A and B are shown apart, each in its own frame.
Chain A
């Protein structure tokens, strides 16, 4: 059976065999970098296409259907258009920060991709504090958003950026707390450990009540953190035209757009790793034969399936719900989600100490 782990291992061995360790490592860096950039582009294309098709089906229409089979190349055509478009910088803008902002946002999401385990043993960097690293890096993107909003010299952008700042800072808390419940259950921050701990069942089943509460909170919080509807206060096109990226055009706009979709992918991948076992196939306790059948499905398929199912849920939110108002949004976080997450954290600790999980 074709395994991604086998491929990476053989490349690694072959490089170390052919070159000295430093050169081998450097060439691995280059390869990983190329892979990540390709993944970025592919994710952008696929997710935007998916969003458009999902929204089309919810809105009783067909969606893009002209470019390529079933409209599959529509995003490619759009990207091409954005690349050749002039990237305007407004007259009154702070040129340096204005042009830097999309790269900050993009780099943040690119960095956050590092500890994501795409398949068994297929991971860029399995660092021991993987989960902490992701939540730390994902808050860097707010700096880019604030930068974009401030440097645009546009009041809509400024309002959007301020909203975004308030929102991401608040929702980071519940996202972090809901992640912590799984960390408590697992006892490790390392992503591979967390996934390994779910070998005899995913945490959403093993962790029962506290895990389910944590999952719901996690889903709400990451939707808010990625600035997706119903929490798209930073963009809120009916209020702030386009929020923080009002003044951006061409490729710079496309970078924001891309970063948004990659962020969705990352949070869903993390969510899948925490609650649904990442690449771990669907195992039930010690039903050895059943587990063995499940193992026949490649781990990369398991990972993609779970992640895209979560992405679909987040898209579903967007095309169903109206947007919250900024004060309601903050009320929801500080008055409801945060206390619930804290109580849930206590509950989880109790459950973990008593060993009342499966």
Chain B
């Protein structure tokens, strides 16, 4: 039998606490070992690997068509975008020209995924700071997106809709009316989101000035996505290295300079509105034609290295394929946004309270399988 004094304290009498791998606010199997001085955090050490499946090794024995499906299981909240990045990388290697219709469908799906992911994040963040109700409201809207996805892709979470050369099947006839209905519905609801959470004084007090990450640190820690944009770093792949039809779309890259949780929060809230505007621009302008380019049954990438990057809901997702000319990749590296964003957690959380740690983690929007791979 051990007493509280005997276990889990440092020499300075600081308390060491395991947060996770089963903890309500780590949203998955993240394990943090935090050192506490009273309520103040002195150190946060992430222990990873509880959902490490060595996807990179698995991909080495999967064909170029197969490996795309595994990537849905990494960042399951932006599985479309992961698939998209991988498909783009294979297309780059084979120099496949994607038909315009497929390009537009891909962008539409990406933006719907981004919306769904941000909705879930919004609900989960509110839950982390203690408000349970927003979670259900977010899920109500996310459900509509999931239904739209289900109709077209046949799945709700891991869609596996993107294939090298385009998309797997054509859009469902209900897709356009469904998306339009969703847009009108969500436009009124997102204002409700702001009323319920953004404008709440308690919420703002919890978020403002908490978990500050300077621009230099954000760059040094390799942060991308809303995490870095909240610190004023320009890093939106859609703007910096436009792919598919993003170059011809009107949308803003959201930059906030606060660097705190509230800035990251505002980036995502504004991004949702931008995504809505992108979908609105495209939904009536889906070109007719093929949804998939003609490709060989067995894909063989030429010898060489191929790297593509894509903007997921969490940041820059990179696919690095090294091919020896065979049917399977020689080595694949996935640069996942969550992994780099997490590395900044210790720097951000030190000196704040336990309640702030939860808010900071929420504002980073961590998806653990994306970190562990």
Spell out A's residues near B (CB within 8 Å).
55, 58-61, 91-92, 153, 155-156, 158-159, 163, 229-230, 232, 236-241, 319-328
Contact = CB atoms under 8 A, between A and B. Distances in A.
B25 A238 contact: yes
Contact of B4 (A91, A153, A241, A322): A153
Chain A CB within 10 Å, residue with most, of B127, B128, B354: B354
Interface of B: 1-4, 8, 15, 17, 23-25, 36, 39, 126-133, 135-137, 140, 196-197, 200, 202-203, 205-206, 353-358
Contacts of A158: 4
Given A322-B200, A322-B203, A239 B355 contact: yes
Nearest to B17: A155
Chain B CB within 10 Å, residue with most, of A155, A239, A319: A239
Given A239-B354, A325-B206, A319 B133 contact: yes
A237 B24 contact: yes
B25 A324 contact: no
A232 to B, nearest CB: 7
Contact of A239 (B2, B25, B202, B205): B25
Contacts of B129: 238, 322-323
B158 to A, nearest CB: 26
A169 to B, nearest CB: 16
23 contacts: A59-B133, A92-B3, A155-B15, A156-B17, A159-B36, A159-B354, A163-B39, A229-B130, A238-B127, A238-B130, A238-B358, A239-B354, A239-B355, A239-B357, A322-B126, A322-B200, A323-B129, A324-B205, A325-B205, A325-B356, A326-B355, A327-B353, A328-B202
Contacts of B15: 155
Chain A CB within 10 Å, residue with most, of B126, B131, B196: B131
A324 B129 CA distance: 8
Contacts of A321: 130-131, 200, 202
A327 B203 CA distance: 14
A91 B1 CA distance: 7
A222 B74 CA distance: 46
B17 A319 contact: no
Contacts of A327: 39, 353
B111 to A, nearest CB: 25
B355 A155 contact: no
B130 A322 contact: yes
Contacts of B357: 239
A328 B355 CA distance: 11
A322 B136 contact: no
A114 B7 CA distance: 43
A229 B355 CA distance: 14
Contacts of A59: 132-133, 135-137
Given A239-B355, A321-B200, A55 B132 contact: yes
Contact of B39 (A159, A230, A322): A159
Contacts of A241: 23-24
B136 A60 contact: yes
Contact of B355 (A55, A236, A319): A236
A313 to B, nearest CB: 16
A155 B24 contact: no
Contact of A323 (B135, B136, B355): B355
A241 to B, nearest CB: 6
A328 B205 contact: yes
Given A239-B25, A240-B354, A61 B136 contact: yes
Contacts of B132: 55, 59, 319
Nearest to A94: B3
Given A324-B206, A326-B355, 19 more contacts: A55-B133, A60-B140, A92-B1, A153-B2, A155-B4, A155-B8, A156-B17, A158-B4, A159-B36, A232-B130, A319-B133, A322-B130, A322-B206, A323-B129, A323-B131, A323-B355, A325-B356, A326-B39, A328-B202
A174 to B, nearest CB: 18
A322 B135 CA distance: 12
Nearest to B129: A322
A127 B160 CA distance: 72
A350 B23 CA distance: 53
A232 B334 CA distance: 41
A230 B130 contact: yes
A237 B131 CA distance: 11
A326 B131 CA distance: 16
Chain B CB within 10 Å, residue with most, of A59, A91, A322, A327: A322
B34 to A, nearest CB: 10
A114 to B, nearest CB: 33
A329 to B, nearest CB: 10
B199 to A, nearest CB: 12
Given A155-B8, A241-B23, A323 B1 contact: no
A322 to B, nearest CB: 4
Nearest to B8: A155
A230 B205 CA distance: 13
Contacts of B205: 324-325, 328
Contacts of A60: 136-137, 140
A219 to B, nearest CB: 15
A92 to B, nearest CB: 5
Contacts of B200: 321-322
A320 B130 CA distance: 9
Contacts of A230: 130, 202
Contacts of A319: 132-133
